[in-house]
Amino acid sequence: MENKYLAKILPFLNEIEEDRRKQFEEYFRTVPMWLMDTFVVEELEKGTVFVQEGEPADMIFFIGKGLIKATDYRIYGINYDFTMFDKVYAFGGMEVIINLDKYQTTLQTVTECTVLKIPKEGFKKWLDSDIVALQQESRLMGEYLLEQARDSRMLLFLQGADRVAFLLMKRYRKYAQGGVLRMKGDRQELSDFTGLCVKTISRSIKKFKENGMITTQGSNIMINYEQYRRMEEMISGILAEDL
């Protein structure tokens, strides 16, 4: 399949960064024409829940533009956001691989998003008939699950401010531009991702600012490379592990 045709079907590919576009092109390198005919592109507003845990898994989603997060509500009904995605994943693909009828997590947009939707049955038919596509989806799923297991293991040994620092480190690695991370200092959002109360988040941010490990500008948090390295050294000393 020529990349030009994929870009015609998915015009947002001409608007996204090169690395992300290449991820799409690689993922759909062997996709058949009959499956492309079922592609639907949809624009979602910020805060939209587009996959609900426990509902029938009948659609596969790919995020063309924007960020989404995964949320777990099963722990005493508490809203726990355990990851944000920035790579090209088939959301719903895990359910296909391990033959589950219902979605296993809730997915919500963090920003406005452009989403590619593919019917589950067509996606499954493609994987069943194409070993290259099946191996690719299995690899991506394995990498994601390995990363989540590793992060969960690390968080077992981190409390309070150390847990916040671990999250800020991960954000820096994923979203820093020109050596600087700029992010909103939303205490509730940080609470949802760390499992800590808002009061603990506020104390941690204050501590980091006083120690020169972060810089604040209004409600925003900024971290440069030197500040990131200080956090990394602090967490590495606790975990005694190469981060």
In this predicted structure, the answer to whether residue 197 has a pLDDT above a threshold of 80 is yes
Q: What is the pLDDT of residues 149-170, one digit of tens each?
A: 777 777 777 888 898 998 898 8
Q: What is the pLDDT of residues 216-241, one digit of tens each?
A: 988 889 999 999 999 988 888 777 65
Q: Does domain 3-154 have CATH number 2.60.120.10?
A: yes
H-state helical runs in the chain: 3-9, 18-27, 33-36, 93-97, 120-129, 131-155, 160-175, 187-194, 198-210, 225-239
What pLDDT does 188 receive?
Answer: 84
- Count of H-run helices and E-run strands, the chain: 10, 10
> Counting Cβ atoms within 10 Å, is residue 207 exposed (0-12), middle (13-18) or buried (19+)?
middle
Q: Does domain 158-239 have CATH number 1.10.10.10?
A: yes
Question: 100 pLDDT band (50/70/90 cuts)?
Answer: very high
Classified as helix, coil or strand, 76 is: coil
Q: What is the pLDDT of residues 111-148, one digit of tens each?
A: 899 999 999 999 999 999 999 999 999 999 888 888 87
> How many CB atoms lie under 10 A from the CB of residue 109?
19
Q: Cα–chain-centroid distance for residue 36?
A: 25
Q: Residue 66, CB half-sphere, CA atoms under 13 Å: how many?
A: 23
In this predicted structure, the answer to whether residue 83 has a pLDDT above a threshold of 70 is no
CB 115 within 8 A of CB 64: yes
Tracing tokens 């063309």 back to the chain, one arrives at 64
What pLDDT does 114 receive?
Answer: 95
Q: What residue ranges of the chain are covered by domains with CATH 1.10.10.10?
A: 158-239
32 versus 70: the higher-pLDDT residue is 32
Structural tokens at position 223: 């971290």
CB 196 within 8 A of CB 160: yes
> 28, 189, 49: which is closest to 106 by C-alpha?
49
Q: What residue ranges of the chain are covered by domains with CATH 2.60.120.10?
A: 3-154
Helices 198-210 & 160-175 angle (0-180, nearest 10): 70
Average predicted confidence (pLDDT) for the chain:
86
